[in-house]
Amino acid sequence: MNLRDRLAFCNSATFFSVVRPLRSCSHPPSIPKSPCWGGSRLPTRSASTIHSGQRRERLDMVFTGIVEEMGTVQQMENLDSAEGGVNIVISASVTIGGVSLGDSIAINGTCLTVTSIAEGTFTFGLAPETLRRTNLGALRTGSQVNLERSLAADGRFGGHVVQGHVDCTGTIRKIEPEKDAMWYTIEIPSEYLKYVVEKGYITVDGASLTVCDVMDAQNVFTFMMIPYTAASVCAALKKVGDQVNIEVDITGKYIERIIAARYREGVNAQV
């Protein structure tokens, strides 16, 4: 089974079609709701884009945590509406290629919908929930952000499954060098730290990283960043005290929920 067939199979399976709560995937009211908003067993949408003169199928809202480039915030505009929210305009060179209106882009790990495209820039809407859940509300003109397009069906799966649904923000507590690499210590709420395991995956501002250590007593985990990665993502531009978007590996959540449901069934059967 080739990659396209495997992804198509996963797309039809429960793993990618469970009910998704509204989290950080932001779609302004003028854009029709896509599966990113949740719903009853909605399939992952497949989008077609043009790349190097050829049409490529993309599995919308499936990311891998491999940052394609850093974009620059050109404008942050508060929406004067009852819903509130913000429009953000970002300049890019790589990720804007082949993008169409309604496509999904991960910005600092947050799944957002393209609402407008101009020369070298695209616009996204940030809903109030997105502003509460992520660090995007702290962006300013000139801020750098990590960008990743949704996975092409024939693309390499270089990281891990990233939904673009930010769970929480973490706080950088330490940045320490070791030879030419950098150690980062991130504090997150304990309710999410339980899903973080040593040598497991975690998404930090949209980048797929390997956890080096977990210290439950301090509610922190660590990861190491090599020079190549540091030059490719915006984490290297941050300092102690800054906020980063965190998405834990979804697999742990599913396992916990299944076990809890089975436990409840067992308890109820004994009553």
Q: Which residues are catalytic?
A: 63, 104, 111, 113, 127, 165, 210
| Residue 64 falls in which region: left (phi positive, over 0), alpha (psi -120 to 50) or beta | alpha
Q: What are the distances in angstroms from CA 218 to CA 25, 45, 52, 187, 221? A: 29, 40, 49, 8, 9
Which has the closest alpha carbon to 151: 34, 92, 66, 239?
Answer: 66
Which has the closest alpha carbon to 112: 81, 143, 148?
Answer: 148
Specify the DSSP class assigned to residue 206.
Answer: T
Which has the closest alpha carbon to 89: 30, 145, 50, 49?
Answer: 145
Counting beta carbons within 10 angstroms of the beta carbon of residue 241, is it exposed (0 to 12), middle (13 to 18) or buried (19 or more)?
A: exposed
Angle at 234 between CA 128 and CA 231, to 5 degrees: 165
Q: Which residues of 179-206 are buried (b: 16+ CB within 10 A; e: fewer)?
A: eeebebbbbbeeebbebbeeebbbbbbb
How many other C-beta atoms are found inside a 10 Å radius of the C-beta of residue 125? 23
